[in-house]
């Protein structure tokens, strides 16, 4: 009987010892070995890689126990060629050792874009279109035109460019713009002897206006002929000036 009690006691003691050893081993694995193996609780702050050259990046990250992979390339005028312009994770992020940082590299030369159609657009609209196409507005060159701030032409580096021409992104485009005053002076057309309808066409086509129309005789049911004009033919006029005309029936002799 005593032998049986002693054997049971020894068994229970061994069982408790085994349980304690298993529990201790489990705790040691999770709280000592595993954290040491996975570097749990240890982290590295991701550095800011903006502007670092590709010649330097490998050594720069290796010293910080990090790696990198080129994700893509882009173009920015704010960075030299072959330098880093973007990264993931972002600077200041906490990562484990040997983490891979994905980077974007600035291209050596910018990609090309088609020239947008700016002719006959307002200056304000043209500037907005240039910005949306990642192009820059350069010099504004005013030329005589009756339309104020209307784009008449485009040029780059002193050379005329056309829509759909391909130019580097970020290029500077100069705009030829109307000054709203038209040609400084030009000669008034000769409309004496013309029928009223033809004279009207010539006046309006010359960017002039019809002023006073004076009747010299009854033109009802008859062709009206211009017998006099002011300013006279050949006089210096500006765009938008008025031309006064005198008309008579077709049978009247033109002076």
CATH code of residue 209: 3.30.10.20
In eight-state DSSP terms, residue 206 is T
Is residue 188 within 8 A of residue 243, CB to CB? The reply is: yes
User: What radius of gyration do the chain's Cα atoms show?
Assistant: 43
Q: How far is CA 140 from the centre of its chain?
A: 18
Q: Give the pTM.
A: 0.45
* 167 and 215 housed in the same domain: no
Separation CA 87–CA 64 (nearest Å): 16
The count of structural domains within the chain is 3
> Per residue in 22-62, pLDDT tens?
777 776 666 665 555 555 546 899 999 999 999 999 999 99
* 134 and 172 housed in the same domain: yes
The count of other CB atoms within 10 Å of the CB of residue 243 is 27
Lowest mean pLDDT among 23-27, 42-46, 80-84, 187-191: 23-27
Separation CA 220–CA 223 (nearest Å): 8
* 60 and 99 housed in the same domain: yes
Domain that holds residue 205: 187-249
Is residue 218 within 8 A of residue 180, CB to CB? The reply is: no
Separation CA 254–CA 223 (nearest Å): 13
């Amino acid at each position: 009987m005593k032998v049986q009690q002693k054997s049971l006691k020894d068994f229970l003691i061994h069982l408790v010892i085994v349980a304690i050893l298993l529990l201790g081993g489990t705790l040691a694995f999770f709280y000592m070995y595993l954290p040491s193996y996975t570097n749990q609780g240890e982290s590295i702050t991701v550095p800011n890689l903006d502007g670092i050259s590709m010649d330097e990046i490998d050594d720069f990250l290796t010293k910080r126990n990090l790696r990198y992979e080129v994700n893509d390339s882009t173009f920015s005028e704010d960075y030299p060629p072959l330098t880093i312009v973007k990264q993931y994770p972002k600077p200041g992020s906490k990562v484990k050792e040997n983490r891979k940082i994905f980077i974007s590299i600035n291209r050596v030369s910018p990609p090309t874009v088609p020239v947008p159609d700016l002719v006959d657009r307002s200056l304000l609209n043209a500037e907005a279109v240039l910005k949306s196409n990642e192009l820059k507005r350069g010099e504004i060159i005013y030329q005589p035109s009756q339309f104020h701030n209307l784009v008449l032409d485009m040029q780059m580096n002193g050379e005329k460019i056309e829509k759909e021409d391909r130019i580097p992104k970020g290029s500077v485009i100069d705009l030829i713009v109307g000054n709203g005053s038209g040609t400084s002076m030009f000669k008034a057309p000769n409309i004496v002897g013309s029928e009223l309808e033809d004279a009207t066409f010539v006046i309006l086509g010359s960017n002039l206006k019809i002023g006073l129309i004076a009747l010299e005789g009854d033109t009802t049911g008859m062709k009206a002929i211009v017998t006099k004009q002011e300013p006279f033919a050949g006089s210096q006029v500006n765009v938008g000036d008025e031309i006064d005309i005198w008309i008579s029936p077709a049978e009247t002799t033109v002076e």
